Amino acid sequence: MRAGDSQDSKAFDSRLAVIDSHVHLDFDEFDAEREQLVARLRANGLKDAVIPGVSASQWPKLQAIAARHGFHYGLGVHPWYCTEDWQQDIENLSKLLEERGDDPKLVAIGECGLDALHKASWEAQLPCFEAQLQLAQQHELPVILHSVKAHNEVLALLKRYPLARGGVIHGFYGSMQLAQHYVDAGCYLGIGHLLLEEKAKKLQETLVKLPLEHLVIETDLALVYQLKKSQFADKTGGSGLILHLLIEKIANLQKKSNVLVSEQVFRNTLQLFDL
C-alpha cells in the first residue's frame, strides 16, 4: 500500500514515535483535562514535548507541569506578553537561568520574538526580544521564535546575535525563500496545523522542496482547537494529536514514506533541543 493511504497510515500511525516541539500544555484551557489528555497523547506515540514559556507569571506553573509529565520546557517572554515591565521580567529570567542552569529539562529560551500585529506591545517587544537573544548566547541555548509580520526584523536580529545552538521558527508559514533565510540563520522550521489547511498553498509548495533535515513538527494550541471543535477528531481517533497528520502530509508532499519522515523529524527535534 502506498504511504499516505488512509488505511495504511492508520495501521502504523500509533507505532510512529513523535515529539511535539511546541505545545502550550501549561495553559489554563487544559486544566480540567490535562491528565487524561497527556495519557491519550502518550498512548498515541508521543515520546516527548517541549512546552515554551510565555510570561514570567506563568513560568512556575509551566515548570511544575513539565516536571509532572516528564516533558521539557523553555523559558521566555512571548511578544504578546511584553509589557513596560519587560526589564524586570528579563532580570527574573536571567536569575532563573542562573539557578536552573543545570536542569536538563530546561532546553530553550522562548517563546520569544516579534509580532507586528500585536501593536500594543510593539515598543517593548524589540528590546525584550534582544535581551532574550543575549541570554540565549550567554547560556548557549536555542531559541523558540514567534515571528509574525516581522521576518526582516527577526532575521536582522539573528544576524546581530549569532546563536551557537540556533533555534526554531515556530508555526512557520512562508515561501521557500523565507524558509531558506531562516535555515541560513541557523533555524529549524516548526510546522504546525496551518499545513493541514486546504488553503495553505504557499506552505504546501514550500514543503515540497524544503529538505527534511530542517523540519520539526508542533501542535502549538491546535489541541485546544481540536478538542473544542473536533476539527481533526475523526482523523486522530480523538487523541488530539495532529503530529501524525503532519507527518503524513509532509510525506505526501515530498513523496517519501511516513516512517522516513517521522524518523528524520524526530532526530531533528532531539538535535535542536539536545534532548
Point out which residues bind Zn ion (CB under 5 A): 111, 220
Q: What is the dihedral of CA 128, 134, 136, 137, to 10 degrees?
A: 170
Q: How far is the CB of 256 from Zn ion (least distance, A)?
A: 27
For residue 110, the SS3 value is strand
Q: For residues 45 and 228, give the distance between their C-alpha atoms in angstroms, rounded to a whole number.
A: 22
Q: For the CB of residue 27, give the shortest distance to Zn ion in the complex, in Å.
A: 10
Q: Which is nearer to Zn ion, 174 or 237 (CB)?
A: 174
The nearest distance, CB 229 to Zn ion, in angstroms, is 19
Type and span of the H or E element at 39:
helix 34-43
Closest contact distance (angstroms) between CB of 81 and Zn ion is 11
Nearest approach, Cβ of 102 to Zn ion (angstroms)? 26
| Beta strands 143-148 and 187-191, pairing class | unpaired
> Do residues 23 and 218 lie in contact, with contact meaning Cβ atoms separated by under 8 Å?
yes
Within 13 Å, how many C-alpha atoms sit on residue 88's CB side? 7
Q: Which is nearer to Zn ion, 220 or 248 (CB)?
A: 220
Question: Of 193 and 251, which has the nearer Cβ to Zn ion?
Answer: 193
Burial (Cβ within 10 Å: 0-12, 13-18, ≥19) of residue 22: buried
Question: Closest CB to Zn ion among 111 and 115?
Answer: 111
DSSP result, 237-263: TTS---HHHHHHHHHHHHT--HHHHHH
Shortest reach from residue 146's CB to Zn ion, in Å: 6
The answer to whether the beta carbons of residues 86 and 57 sit under 8 Å apart is: no
Largest CA distance in the chain: 57
Question: Whose Cβ is closer to Zn ion: residue 20's or residue 111's?
Answer: 111
Q: Decide whether 56 or 253 has the Cβ nearer to Zn ion.
A: 56
